[in-house]
Amino acid sequence: MDILVINCGSSSLKYQLIDMNGENVLAKGIVERIGIDGSRIKHEPHNSEKIVIEEPIKNHKEALKMVVDAITNSEYGVIESMDQISAVGHRVVHGGEDFSKSVIIDDKVMDALNRNIELAPLHNPPNIIGIEACKEIMPNVPMVAVFDTAFHQTLPEENYIYAIPYEYYEKYKIRRYGFHGTSHKYVAIRTAEILNKQLSDLNAITCHLGNGASITAIKSGISIDTSMGFTPLEGLAMGTRSGNIDPAIIPFLMKKENMSFDDVNDVLNKKSGVLGVSGISSDFRDLEDEAEKGNKRAKLALNLFANRVVKYISAYASELGRVDAIVFTAGVGENSPLIREMVCENLGILGVKIDKNVNDFKGKERMISTDDSKVKVLVVPTNEELMIARETVELVK
Ligand code: ADP
C-alpha cells in the first residue's frame, strides 16, 4: 500500500511517498517558493539521484501536479501511475477541540477545518489549500487529516485552562492546545518499543527540540502536559520564538518602541529566542561554534535554552511521579551532544546520569544514560511523515 504524505505550508509543499508494506520511503521532496519567483521542485527518489526542476509554479494545485508528475515520471519516478496511491495523509496544524484523533476527510471535516482557521491563521489555510488541491487532482483517493494538536487533547482541564476569565475559553476557545503531537506520539511509541513496554505502561518526557521546540509529559502513554499552548509561541525559548515571557512586556514595548501589536507579534515570533538573545543566529550549529570561540551572548543563548528545558523536565517529572525515560528528538535533540549534555547534567536531582562518550554522536537512535541512571535517557529521531502514513493506513484499510 503506497501512501502519499503531504505537508503544505504557505509557499511550500513537502511530500513523501511511502510503501507501507515495509515502511520504505519511495520518494520524498519539496516544492518551494510556490507563487513566488524562482519556484522549484526538489525530488529525491530512493533509487536514483536527486533532481531539481525550476519553473514557475503559480499555486498549490500546480505544485501537486508537479509532485504527481515527478513520482510517476518514466525516468525518475517511483511508481507507474497515480492509481497506485492508496491514500493521502495530510498534516494539519490545528484541529482545535474538534479532533482528538486523525480522521478521514469529508465535508464535515472540511467545515471544522475552516472553523479552526481562526485558531491557526498562518498554518491552517495552506493545509486546507493542499487538501483542496489533492481533491481536485485525485478525487477518488481517500484522504486523512493528521493533526499536530490531536495527541494533546488528553490534557486534564487544569493543564489546558489559562488563569484568565473563564468566559474567554467559552467564547473564543482560548486554551492550551499544544503542538508537535505527531512527533511526540511517534517517539513515545518508539520509546515503548525500545524499552520493551506497552505504550500504556510508559511514563516519559519527550523533548522535541528543533527550530520550534516543545516538551511533553506522557503518562501511561497519553499526553498530560505540554509546553506549547494556544499557539506554538508558548513554552521553551526556540530558534526565533520567545517562548514564555511576562505578558506585561507586550504593552510596555508597544508604548516604548511605538510598536503596533503586529510589530510585537513579529518580534516575539521571528526575532526572539536564541536568535534574539545571541544576535547571531537561530541555528544551534552557529551558536555552538561562536560560544566555543568565546562569544558571551552565544553562550548565554545556549545556557538560557538548556535551562528552560531543565525546568520543564523537572516540573513534568513531578507531575508524572514516575519517569521511565527522557527522550530527545528533532534537529537539536537528535544532533547536538552539547545541548543534551547541558540539559542532563542539571537533572541530577532526578538521578539522571548520561555517558558523555556514548552521547557524542548525531542523528541515530541510541540510549545515552548509564546503567545506574534512575531514568533512561534516549535519542530517538522523529519521523512525523511515517506516523502520518501509519495513521492514514489505519483509517483507510
Ligand atoms: P524544524 O522542523 O522545526 O524546522 P528541525 O527539527 O529540522 O526544525 O531542527 C532544525 C534545527 O536543528 C536547526 O535550526 C539547527 O539549529 C539544529 N541542528 C541541526 N543539526 C545540528 C547539529 N549538528 N548541531 C546542533 N544543532 C543542529
Q: How confident is the model at residue 278, as a pLDDT?
A: 98
Question: Which atom belonging to ligand 1 lies closest to the Cα atom of 382?
Answer: 6
For the segment 362-369, the average pLDDT, to the nearest whole number, is 97
Contact 53, 67 (CB under 8 A): no
Beta bridge partners of 92: 147
By three-state DSSP, how is residue 217 classified? strand
> What is the model's pLDDT at position 158?
98
Output the pLDDT for position 365. Answer: 98
Residue nearest to atom 12 of ligand 1 (CA): 331
The predicted structure's pLDDT at residue 118: 87
Taking only the tens place, the pLDDT of each residue in 187-246 is 999 999 999 999 999 999 999 999 999 999 999 999 999 999 999 999 999 999 999 999
Of 2, 98, 148, 225, which residue is the catalytic one? 148
Ligand 1 centroid to Cα of residue 331, in Å, is 3
Q: For the residues of 220-261, what is the DSSP string, one character each?
A: TTEEEEES--SSTTSSS--SS---S--TTHHHHHHHHTT--H
* CA 181, chain centre distance (Å): 7
- List the residue whose alpha carbon is closest to atom 4 of ligand 1: 211
C-alpha 75: how far from chain center: 33
pLDDT digits (tens, 9 = 90+) for 18-35: 999 999 999 999 999 999
Instruction: Write the pLDDT tens digit of every residue in 85-140.
Output: 999 999 999 999 999 999 999 999 999 999 999 888 888 999 999 999 999 999 99
Confidence class of residue 386 from pLDDT cuts 50, 70 and 90?
Answer: very high
Nearest to 339 by CA among 296, 293, 386, 305: 305
276-306 residue pLDDT tens = 999 999 999 999 999 999 999 999 999 999 9
Q: Alpha-carbon distance 147 to 92, whole Å?
A: 5
Atom of ligand 1 nearest to the CA of 213: 3
pLDDT at 30: 96
Mean pLDDT of the chain: 96
CA-CA distances (angstroms) from residue 140 to 42, 72, 130, 361?
Answer: 27, 17, 16, 45
Spell out the domains of the chain, with CATH numbers in brackets.
2-147 (3.30.420.40), 198-384 (3.30.420.40)
Assess contact for 130 and 60: CB atoms under 8 A: yes
Task: Tell me the C-alpha distance between 326 and 317, whole Å.
Answer: 10
Asked if 176 contacts 146 with a C-beta cutoff of 8 angstroms, the reply is no
pLDDT higher than threshold 90 for residue 178: yes
Q: How far is the CA of 282 from the centre of ligand 1 (A)?
A: 9
For residue 381, give the C-alpha cell.
529521531
Over 90: is that where the pLDDT of 272 sits?
A: yes
Index of the ligand 1 atom closest to the CA of residue 362: 23
Which residue among 285, 309, 340 is best mutated to probe the pocket of ligand 1, counting the most ligand atoms within 8 A of its Cβ? 285
The alpha carbon of 274 and the centre of ligand 1 are apart by a number of angstroms equal to 13
Instruction: List, for residues 40-81, the tens digit of each pLDDT value.
Output: 999 999 999 999 999 999 999 999 999 999 999 999 999 999
Ligand 1 midpoint to CA 111 (Å): 35
Q: Whose CA is nearest to atom 21 of ligand 1?
A: 335
d(CA 225, CA 200) in angstroms, rounded, equals: 16
Closest C-alpha to ligand 1, atom 22: 335
Q: What pTM was estimated for this model as a whole?
A: 0.95
Residue listed under C-alpha cell 482541564: 157
Closest CA to 275 of 248, 294, 302, 252: 302
- Once rounded to an integer, what is the mean pLDDT over residues 2-8? 97
- In this predicted structure, what is the pLDDT of residue 33? 94
List the grid coordinates of 345: 547534567
Between CA 91 and CA 311, with CA 122 as vertex, the angle to 5 degrees is: 80
Q: Is 283 a catalytic residue?
A: no
Whose alpha carbon is nearest atom 19 of ligand 1?
331
**pLDDT for 119:** 86
Pocket of ligand 1 (CB under 6 A): 210-212, 239, 283-285, 330-332, 335-336, 362
What are the Cα distances from residue 287, in Å, to 202, 263, 275, 355?
34, 26, 9, 24
Alpha-carbon distance of 291 to 295, in angstroms, equals 5
- The rounded Å distance from CA 362 to ligand 1 centre is 11
Residue ID of nearest Cα to ligand 1 atom 14: 283
Taking the centre of ligand 1 as the mean of its atom positions, its distance from the CA of residue 18, in whole angstroms, is 24
Q: Ligand 1 centroid to 335 CA: how many Å?
A: 7
Name the pLDDT band for 375 (thresholds 50, 70, 90).
Answer: very high
